[in-house]
Amino acid sequence: MTGASGRRRTTRRRTGVAAGLVAGLVAGLGAGPVAGGSGPAAASRTSDRPTAIDLSTLERGPDTTIAYRRHRAVQHGPVRVRIPGRQPDLLGVVEGGYLVTGASGGRTTLRVLGADGSRRTLGTYGLASRDFIVGDEGRVVLMRLRGRGASTRLTLLSTVDGSVVARLRSQQTLQPLDVTTDAVVLSTEPPGQVLVWTPSSGELRRVVRGPAGLADLRRDVLVRTPRRDGEQCLEMSTVSDPRQVAWSRCAGDVPRALSPSGAHLLTGDEWARGHDFRLLGEAGEQLAHYRVRGGSGTGLVHLEDEHTVLLGVEADGVGAVVRCSGTHCELATDLTSRPPR
């Protein structure tokens, strides 16, 4: 799951180099529709006309199976669990329940909440603001703390007992892109570079110069985010060989989420919320285009499969999770005054 205040990210596993994906991406430069890309999704490639997401007119479809936050509670199908404290956030699903944060007395507490109402506290931290990113199928969580100036402190924690797996201090501002037990991909602030931190050895090595917005170590995917002539661009490459670019696109959009295979990319018009979303294929071609009418996204973005997008949407004081595939969109939850995040 990706999104909002706690910087939730889709859980991923061990480092691995998917050579087959690289070949598929490069081959896609001269390819037509991707495999399985028939029907509405394929037809939408020929037009930039966006599919409107209008909460007042969408029909109700099947319930979403992902966990999300609704106000002060985790909602996961019929399960609803209240998050203790103020400024609640859901980080992801881990063994034993849901990893959440909540503030009290200026301190942030990291907990695992069970569907049965149980609570397991992993740690309570000081007054400074922190970001958390879950990784490795919920086995670890990375805590990021901004220090003085541009410095950053990273702490990799076990989600079983909160124990420290590794620490890193840097005089640079580091933004985690993907987290596993074996490696963490980081992007520095402009002019930017991509780094890989190996927790077991403490090694911090540069992969390539220039900023990036998304990474998936398990599938060896890196989405770089250069700016050219003042415009935001995207380049799809790999962590193992980032100079081998599969496709490049300069259209002002920013990366939001990768598909389960890592081959398709969901983009948005803003880094956090926005109202305009595009699904791009293996060669950077547009597979679908969605625009929220009279509202915006809430920060919740997820790809159920290669062509099916889940978006948290709010408009006119109500919100829901919306499922879109091709040119069809439907409600994946009921409308509520507490928009999903």
Among 19, 28, 37, 6, residue whose Cα is nearest residue 246: 28
Whether the per-residue pLDDT at 68 is higher than 80: the answer is yes
Instruction: Give the distance between the most distant pair of CA atoms in the chain.
Output: 57
Residue bearing tokens 């706690």: 6
Average pLDDT over residues 71-82: 96
Residue 20 DSSP code? H
Strand partners, 65: none
Quick one: pLDDT at residue 224? 97
Q: What is the mean pLDDT of residues 111-122?
A: 96
So what's the pLDDT on residue 18? Answer: 36
Q: What is the number of other CB atoms lying within 10 angstroms of the CB of residue 195?
A: 20
Tokens for 238, please give them.
Answer: 């790999």
* Euclidean distance between CA atoms 187 and 178, whole angstroms: 10
169 has pLDDT over 70? yes
Residue 63 has pLDDT above 60, yes or no: yes
Round the average pLDDT of the chain to a whole number and report it. Answer: 87
pTM: 0.84
Cis peptide before 190 (omega within 30 of 0): no
- Cα–Cα distance measured from residue 177 to residue 230, given in angstroms and rounded to the nearest whole number: 23
CA nearest neighbour of 40 among 338, 335, 324, 334: 324
Confidence category of residue 125, pLDDT binned at 50, 70, 90: very high
Measured in whole angstroms, the distance separating CA 273 from the mean position of its chain's CA atoms is 12
Q: Is 5 helix (H, G, I), strand (E, B) or coil?
A: coil
Q: Tally the residues of the chain.
A: 341
The DSSP 8-state label assigned to residue 336 in this structure reads B
Please name the residue that has the structure tokens 């989600």: 159
* Confidence at 270, pLDDT banded by 50, 70, 90: very high
pLDDT at 140 over 80: yes
Per-residue confidence band for 47, with pLDDT thresholds at 50, 70 and 90: low
Contact 220, 238 (CB under 8 A): yes
Decide if pLDDT at 22 tops 80: no
Rounded CA-CA distance 341/72 in Å is 10
CB of 68 closer than 8 Å to CB of 300: yes
Question: First vs last Cα of the chain: how many Å apart?
Answer: 10
Degrees (nearest 5) of the Cα angle 271, 274, 277?
Answer: 90
Which residues is 26 bridged to in the sheet?
A: none
Average pLDDT over every residue of 279-298: 97
Is residue 44 over pLDDT 80?
no
- The neighbouring-strand residues paired with 255 are 267
pLDDT in tens, 205-264: 999 999 999 999 999 999 999 999 989 999 999 999 999 999 999 999 999 999 999 999
Contact partners, residue 242, CB within 8 Å, separation at least 6? 194, 207, 208, 222, 224
Residue 118 identity (one-letter amino acid): S
